[in-house]
Amino acid sequence: MSFEREEPNYYGAGPALLPTDVLQQAALDLINYQNLGLGVGEISHRSKQAVSIVDETKVNLTRLLAIPDTHEVFFMQGGGTSGFSSSAANLMAAYAKRTGKKGKAAYAVTGTWSKKAYEEALRLGFEAEAVVDVKKQNGKFGDIPPTSEWKPVNSDYAYLYYCDNETVNGIEFQQVPEAYAAGVEIVADMSSNFLSRKIDVSQYGLILAGAQKNVGLAGLSIYIIKKNLLEQAGDEELKQLGVPLSPIAFHYPTVVQNNSAYNTIPIFTLHIINLVLKKLLAQGGLAVQEATNGRKAAALYSVLDSYPQLFKLPVATGVRSKMNIVFTIEGEGNEDEFLKLSGARGLTGLKGHRSVGGMRASLYNAVTEKSVQSLVDFTKEFAESRK
């Protein structure tokens, strides 16, 4: 058995491609970590070595994102779903502590995942409102209306939740709705564009991200939260106010007080995230990665736009995602043929989400410019053959 592999041309939306050198190091560490005679997946989550992994990963995230002292980094089991489920209870508890009142939640429903988050808040018993619902307004997801057209929010709202990049629908916010939500904490799900570009962390109350899209394996989620949001009302006060409680495993203050090790988090998965962070830092940080991602997305969008009779792009130009490029192909049987011929070239993971169909090319950080060029070349050849 060899640790070598031919570099894959894989564009799946997640679990997604990881750098081969990261996986090679992780494979060695899975067998014997730091000459312990044990693999990194076997050590206690409270051991000296595991604590070191937690601490180093936090330091590297802080360096990459220039996270200010006002914010805390922590990790929990799960992914985006556990993130948006747990954020409602925790942000409401922080609001109750600050105001002594039961708050409301605002959701910007701009795609599949923000819709799921909104529905989950309602299911859990929180008072939630969709301040914009693009599908209700337009009949489909594909654009983000200006915030001047959203329902206004005020101090009665504990937070505004939005999904920064809609993985299924290929929609990405180009700016933070900070002015719209003045005085209201902003919660952003960045699962599928986390660490793809520079951001100003100080604009957010909470950032959450499942690791399996852009920085690691499935099973772990990353959180960056304002420290004052960890000051939360107690259980009895929340019960009196009628605010649903968070399960203890997803109670942010408890997780932070235990340095992300209140329960058994997957240390091997966290170790891989740390290896990815080290690689990003060595490559020059997020400014370099952002420029690379911009070139990749521009190259693929350019070839798709060059054949408008064949390729249909459902997302408005101004909100096109750089991570998840979605399109359909006109003509009976052309989508199946596109997948068949691309697969024969070793270009895989291009089938769109089952809920929307079509094609989806996910150009996450680990997808190289060379790999994107291979896809661009094939797409152009396919289009030319259909003239």
Rg (CA), the chain: 21
DSSP string, 282-298: HTT-HHHHHHHHHHHHH
Catalytic status, residue 189: yes
For residue 358, the one-letter residue type is G
Residue 370 exposed, middle or buried by CB count within 10 Å (0-12, 13-18, 19+): exposed
φ and ψ of 222, to 5 deg: -110, 140
Q: Is the dihedral of CA 288, 291, 296, 299 positive or negative?
A: negative
The residue annotated as part of the active site, out of 29, 133, 164, 189, is 189
Catalytic status, residue 113: yes
The residue annotated as part of the active site, out of 102, 213, 226, 322, is 213
Query: What is the rounded CA–CA span in Å between residue 249 and residue 177?
Result: 30
Q: What angle do CA 53, 58, 60 make, to 5 degrees?
A: 95
| Non-local CB neighbours of 190 within 8 Å, separated by 6+ positions | 164, 165, 207, 208, 209
Catalytic status, residue 213: yes
Q: What angle do CA 60, 295, 140 make, to 5 degrees?
A: 95
The residue annotated as part of the active site, out of 58, 102, 104, 113, is 113
Report helix, strand or coil for 263.
Answer: coil
Active-site amino acid positions: 113, 189, 213
